[in-house]
Amino acid sequence: MEYKDTQPYAITVGDLVQKGKDHIPEELLSSKHLIYNSPAALAFNSPGAQGFGVKRAGLSIPGSIMLLIGPGCCGRNTTILGEQGGYQDRFYFYILDETDIVTGRHLQKIPQAVAEIVESRREKPSVVMLCMTCVDALLGTDMERVSRKAASVCGVSVVPCYMYALTREGRKPPMVDVRRALYSLLEKQPRHRRTVNLLGFFSPLQDDCELYPILRQTGIKQIQELARCRNFEEYLAMSQANFNLVLHPESWLAAQDMEKRLGIPSITLTRLYQVSQIHRQYMALSRVLGAPIQDESWLEQARQAVEAVRARYSGTTVAIGGMQNGNAYEMALALTRYGFTIKEIYASLSPDDFVYLRHLAQWSPETKVYSNLSPTMLYYEGASHPVDLTIGKDAAWYHETAAHVNWDDDIQPFGYAGVLSLLRHIGLALDERGKNGR
């Protein structure tokens, strides 16, 4: 693809919807052009990046450790991020040299390296995660076989996970496959009728999320999340669940694998910021479970918060990025309905997003959509079209003088509680900006 001008590529929501989901412009598809890593994108454009990339996600199993196998450059941010997250003592590195890459000799050494790491630990780990990079993807390494060999040598379960940026556009992207890998150690057990697993995130939902009491209304006694497992035994008990609630689309492969291996079926719930849609989703869950759900108190509280925000901040201009806890297009639709004016969105686009874009086009057809990863973003200058508020770290980088809501904490917002938290953060950011006279 050639770029013939010096303007960042953007397309309005109205024009996108007119083109349709089967004709997404190539400029918005990272597989169709060179990827430009602006400072706005560097923090997330990697399956091993800041937040929960493959490396940190792979350590979600209690008591696990990880051996990262790759050239030195592939682990460049692991030490810093490990120190920030407090898990640096669980990372080990096998640095590949040129001979390893050319001959593949490292494959013979990995089992012994794993055994030495396990032996050096004061406490025996529950599992060793082998984190592989694009080098072994290009070599066509059978990492399942290497893991089995390593397990037989060290006496501990060894599970491969793949930090393959090359597969990001494929059927099993890294963040999808690592979720499958995390639950692969679960073995079939008798299922408990009043137990459910929450799948989707590597950290827990916010403590005040109404989903917990709502599930208890339906007779659920035990609600299990990987991030809340205190030890390996609690992790293994997740195979006793009667069903899974899938809260993030990247967990569908894991859910399908668990249904095939363990006989645990799944129900999908979507993270939403539209209050009316959250209510409809809970009513649908009630019908599926065959049990009444009373959400009126939370619904009314959220509606009041929306009306308060609408009265105070209606017309506030907003730019929404992709680096935040939500779907940028669904969030844009929600905030537009709450009285905000969404000027710009910077986020990856898939056909599934058109369910939100079609409605957004009715409310705000002139909202512009950009791709953080497009080379044309070299020419983007936020100062030429300022906004009052940004949501997401990437959007904040483009608009330095705006009020900022990063909205990327590890603890995950969900449901009415997520809406209340987001609106509260927006109000605080805008009020602080007003105090500073910007």
**Could you tell me the strand order of the sheet in which 389-391 lies?**
11-12, 368-370, 341-346, 317-321, 389-391, 403-405
Q: How far is CA 297 from CA 7, 221, 302, 309, 335, in A?
A: 49, 22, 9, 19, 22
Closest by CA to 385, choosing from 372, 412, 371, 367, is 367
Instruction: Quote the mean pLDDT of the chain.
Output: 90
What is the pLDDT, as a whole number, of residue 85? 58
- Lowest mean pLDDT of 17-31, 39-53, 204-218, 399-413, name the range: 39-53
| Percent residues over pLDDT 70 in the chain | 89
The residues that bridge with 403 in the sheet, in sequence order, are 389
- Which tokens sit at 218? 């339906």
Please determine, for residue 121, whether its predicted confidence score (pLDDT) is greater than 70.
Answer: yes
Please determine, for residue 252, whether its predicted confidence score (pLDDT) is greater than 60.
Answer: yes
C-alpha span between 420 and 205 (Å, rounded) = 14
Most confident of 19-28, 39-48, 128-137, 240-249: 240-249
Q: Residue 72: left if φ>0, alpha if ψ -120 to 50, beta else—which one?
A: alpha
What is the pLDDT, as a whole number, of residue 47? 39
What is the pLDDT, as a whole number, of residue 49? 44
- Which tokens sit at 114? 């794993």
Please determine, for residue 415, whether its predicted confidence score (pLDDT) is greater than 50.
Answer: yes
Please determine, for residue 332, whether its predicted confidence score (pLDDT) is greater than 50.
Answer: yes
The residues that bridge with 199 in the sheet, in sequence order, are 246
- Lowest mean pLDDT of 55-64, 202-211, 385-394, name the range: 55-64
Q: What is the greatest pairwise CA distance in the chain?
A: 67
Please determine, for residue 206, whether its predicted confidence score (pLDDT) is greater than 90.
Answer: yes
- Lowest mean pLDDT of 67-71, 310-314, 350-354, name the range: 67-71
Topology annotation, domain 192-269: Rossmann fold (3.40.50)
What is the pLDDT, as a whole number, of residue 311? 97
Cβ atoms < 10 Å from Cβ of 11: 18
Secondary structure letter of residue 153 according to DSSP: H
Please determine, for residue 84, whether its predicted confidence score (pLDDT) is greater than 90.
Answer: no
pTM (2 d.p.): 0.91
| Percent residues over pLDDT 90 in the chain | 70
Hey, which bits of 303-402 come out as E strands? 317-321, 341-346, 368-370, 389-391
Pick the CATH number of 54-171 from 3.10.290.20, 1.10.3720.10, 3.40.50.1980, 3.40.50.300: 3.40.50.1980
Domain ranges in the chain? 54-171, 192-269, 298-435
pLDDT band at 163 (very low <50, low <70, confident <90, very high): confident
Name which residue leads in pLDDT, 104 or 181: 181
- Lowest mean pLDDT of 94-103, 300-309, 403-412, name the range: 94-103
Domain 298-435 carries which CATH code?
A: 3.40.50.12380
C-alpha span between 210 and 377 (Å, rounded) = 40
* Torsions phi, psi for 361 (to 5 deg): -65, -25
Q: Mean of the pLDDT values across residues 279-308?
A: 98
Q: How far is CA 131 from CA 54, 160, 200, 432, in A?
A: 8, 6, 20, 43
